[in-house]
Chain A
Amino acid sequence: MRILRQILRALAWCIILPAAAVLTLVLSGPRLLVAFLHGIELLLDLAWLFVAIFFHLLRSSLFALGLGGREKALLIKAQAHHFAGEVKADAEKLLGLPMELARNFRRALDLVRRHLHRQGRRALDWAGEKASATMLRRPAFDFESDYEIVERLPSGGSTAQVFVVVPRRGSFPPGLPPGSTSRGERAVLKYFDLTIGSHLESIIRESGAVRLANQLGIVLDSKMSPTSFYYVMPYHHGATLTQEILAMHRRLPDGSRPSDPELNRFLGWLRDLLVVIVEYHERGVFHKDIKPDNLIVEGEKLHLIDIGLLTPLESMLQLTTHGTEYFRDPEMVRLATRGATIRDVDCAKFDIYSVGAVLYFILDGGFPASGSLTRYSRPVPFALQWISNRAMTDFDKRYSSAREMLRDVEALRELSAGAAFDSIKVSSLPSFHGGEPPPVPAGPAAPAGAAAPPSLPRGLAGREAASRFLKPAAGAVLLVACAAGALILSSNGEHLSGPVAAEAAPEEVLLGSTASVSTQAGSHLRAADDGASTRRFSSRHEAARWVSEVIENLRETFARKEGRGRTPLVLPLPGPEEDPQEMEFIRELKLALAQRSVPFETRAQATRPNAPDEPWVVRVKVTRRSGLRAVEGAVQTPSGPRCWSVEYP
């Protein structure tokens, strides 16, 4: 009975196994052939067993039939005994069979599982690709009539989708900055859509940033619809600075530093970055999110991307903590938590901190967790450490402007062309001597030699002594200048001495020295622009901003003194006969005045030489002087005309 049960069980397995083998073979193909062969092998084993049992029984029966009497009985007994032993062995074999079958079946199932898993993953990938391709082909993007999607880029931390596109009509829409992109060139399109997860806050913030970026000429196109917003910028193909630097530091052995040519290459990148930052700041905006992930290395060039946090320096909004840890100035977080407004703080210095942090990352490969206190894990040349630390140090001691930092970088590049980095003395850097070196005509490629301050005697003790002597002397000169300024204010605009005042008409007084900037409040606020005769600026925009600030202060002074409301300024109306340079300057001035909410009107007669001297009429004359544009202007105050003189390239 037991044997019969085993036989039935074996038979059942004989049905199950081939069925499972065939099924798995059909499902998973040749890779399961091994499992199938296992099954066949077992079937053969089983068949052999049946045949063996059958012949054994038959042989024993036939033998027993041929004998008789007692011998027959003994033989049958012996045969039976022998047969029982054989059957027992066969039964054991039979019992082992299901175990073998189960093992093989488990192997087969395992192979099936692995195969299905692999196939499933392939199917998922395929579905993902199809879905992504379907999404790319989705006609819902409202920019697709103008742009063709080439590639999708990772969107980073924002709620936008980023694409590489080419314009459908072969070029970008009219009205774009000339030369910003060539025909058929790729561009990056950042797309926000409220219906597919973008936040309204992001759209509002980025659209504001795009308005600013438009002034800088870095946005190719932008469009706002009731539910979506997109903008297009030039596409830079390359690795991020993070990828480049981490790969470079992985190659470097512990305790060694990048070679001098590599350091020179880094300085070139830093210069590229600073040129852009200087341009931003002089145009009145700051980037707020400078970090290695937002810098693209394209050959020897470094490009700053992501304008999402561009903010006007004169914004009256409250400072926020947006930015990226380790590359964001901790002082910004502190001021933001105290509720400071942007215009009350020199926010350009936050960008300078970030550039310093980026330099640290380039040189060390790590993050400057403690700002300028962070130690280097590699033996970095001290001149480079100086620049990085100076950019990240306390707010008041930091580089006063990105241009000052650029001067140091340019000087170091020049010095490193003729000497090893380790032999360059830190005192060779322009910022080492504290005060601003003489201003230079703008342009990032200005020679570093021109930017350096007059060098003190080479003798070390002599320099120390000179510095000790010069500091009090400079302080005394400053004190006298301040006293003179105060006298002028109190005398309601009497004559001033000074180089330009001497050259100017007798009834005119120098305006620059009379202006006192009222926004200074505390150490974090911007220093007053005051006390110069002919001021030199890096751009027309910067010069116009300064003039507008000075005029506004003058008007405030008179408004306080006379207790009357402010009458609007009168600016020259552009006409065909006017000098285009004058018109350009006046246009910048109008923009700057508008940003300061100073009321003004335009009149054609304001520029005529015989115009009546009515109050607050502005006159401007632009000339060319040794390669620079010189603007001499005057504003008619109730107590007489006040003049200024500025220069720019």
Chain B
Amino acid sequence: MVTPNTNLVRRLKERNSDAWLELWEVFGPAIERMVASIAKRYFSPETVQDLRQETLLQVFARIEDFDTRRGANFSTWLYAIARHIVCAEIARRNALKRNRGLKPLSLGDVLDLDGGAASPAAEFEKQVFRAKVYHAIRLVERRSDFLEFEVYKMKVSRPIKAVEIAAILGISEAGVSRHLRKVRERLRETLRQVVREYSWTQDEVEEIEKHRLDGDDELFDSALGDIYAAVEEEQKRHHHPVRTVQGRA
């Protein structure tokens, strides 16, 4: 049994602004995607963003109630809040429709629970893990030299050999291998740290193995590349039209 890591929750409870920014950065996109996947047919992207913000506001208001000793995943707790907010919004809209004599939506329709597809909860858990991996990639990008990281990004973005990378960049193959090794080691270490930091149960910690992120270099690069591609694909699918922000945060 893993010792629950209470660091983030403790900082959140202390109203530490950095911790809230961190929460927003790490879990914000996953929550947004989850909200969108639950009711994408009925809500506009703007409403989805509003609901995401509402979810994080509710987290802010209710963080005192989260008890790490109960053994629940933080992500599950986030999911419960987000689902509650989405359902409340649907109920509110249905009430409006009833008053206007329109047929309300059924909750089954809205929650997309048709057979075969992964349930929103399972999909959300996957996205949360991907969010952790993506956060680790981001941290390693910050800690690495620009060239080193670009080399590694080229390697995991598409099936390309070290010798080809060397030819494209105009450096030696040995140099490419060295950069790859350095960034990979840093990523393995950071990934372990990040997953430890944002995990509350043994299952969550073991996700590294489940996703083949503890294998040899080739396996690691391939698994990481898959997750990186999946997150990027999700982000592209959920990006919104550009708009000007004219207010201060």
Contact = CB atoms under 8 A, between A and B. Distances in A.
B242 interface: yes
A557 interface: no
Contact of B236 (A334, A369, A373, A397): A369
B244 A324 contact: yes
A333 B242 contact: no
A152 interface: no
A369 B239 contact: yes
Interface string A247-272: 00000000000000000000000000
B117 interface: no
A254 to B, nearest CB: 14
B168 interface: yes
A156 interface: yes
A377 B232 CA distance: 10
Interface string B141-177: 1100111001001100100000000111111111100
A464 interface: yes
A165 to B, nearest CB: 24
A604 to B, nearest CB: 49
Contacts of A377: 236
Given A373-B138, A373-B141, A382-B154, A323 B245 contact: yes
Given A337-B21, A369-B236, A393 B242 contact: no
A63 interface: no
A366 interface: yes
A322 B247 CA distance: 6
A333 B141 CA distance: 19
Given A157-B244, A460-B175, A464-B174, A375 B141 contact: no
Contact of B169 (A156, A321, A425): A425
A576 B193 CA distance: 71
Contacts of B47: none
Contact of A432 (B141, B147, B246, B247): B147
Interface string A392-417: 01100100000000000000000000
Contacts of A394: 141-142
Nearest to B169: A426
B248 A336 contact: yes
A289 B232 CA distance: 25
A427 B172 CA distance: 11
A458 B239 CA distance: 43
Interface in A351-403: 366-367, 369-370, 372-375, 377, 382, 386, 389-390, 393-394, 397
Contacts of A293: 242
A513 B228 CA distance: 47
B44 interface: no
B242 A460 contact: no
A425 to B, nearest CB: 3
Contacts of A367: 239, 242
B242 A427 contact: no
B183 interface: no
Given A334-B21, A337-B249, A373 B171 contact: no
B146 A397 contact: yes
A461 to B, nearest CB: 5
B113 interface: no
Q: Which residue, of B147, B170, B243, has the highest number of chain A Cβ atoms within 10 A?
A: B170
B236 A366 contact: yes
Contacts of A325: 240, 242-243, 245
B171 A427 contact: yes
Contacts of B235: 369-370, 374
Contacts of A607: none
A144 B154 CA distance: 58
B245 A322 contact: yes
A374 B232 contact: yes
Interface string A263-297: 00000000000000000000000000101010000
B229 interface: yes
B168 A426 contact: yes
Name the prevailing secondary structure of the B interface residues: helix
B106 interface: no
B62 to A, nearest CB: 22
Interface in B204-240: 228-229, 232, 235-236, 239-240
A327 interface: yes
Contacts of B248: 320-322, 336
A464 B171 contact: yes
A287 to B, nearest CB: 14
Interface string A496-520: 0000000000000000000000000
B137 interface: yes
A591 to B, nearest CB: 30
Q: Which residue, of B154, B236, B244, has the highest number of chain A Cβ atoms within 10 A?
A: B244
B160 to A, nearest CB: 10
B99 interface: no
A295 to B, nearest CB: 13
A122 interface: no
A555 B245 CA distance: 42
A543 B146 CA distance: 30
Contacts of A382: 154, 168-169
A40 to B, nearest CB: 41
A141 interface: no
Contact of B242 (A158, A291, A461, A463): A291
Interface string A464-498: 10000000000000000000000000000000000
A325 B239 CA distance: 11
A326 interface: yes
Nearest to A323: B245
B108 to A, nearest CB: 32
Given A460-B170, A464-B174, 6 more contacts: A321-B248, A334-B21, A336-B249, A367-B239, A425-B167, A427-B170
27 contacts: A321-B245, A322-B246, A322-B248, A323-B244, A324-B243, A324-B244, A325-B242, A325-B245, A328-B245, A334-B21, A337-B21, A369-B239, A373-B232, A374-B235, A382-B154, A389-B146, A393-B146, A394-B142, A397-B145, A425-B168, A425-B169, A426-B170, A427-B171, A432-B169, A460-B166, A460-B171, A461-B172
Interface of B: 17, 21, 137-138, 141-142, 145-147, 150, 153-154, 157, 166-175, 228-229, 232, 235-236, 239-240, 242-249
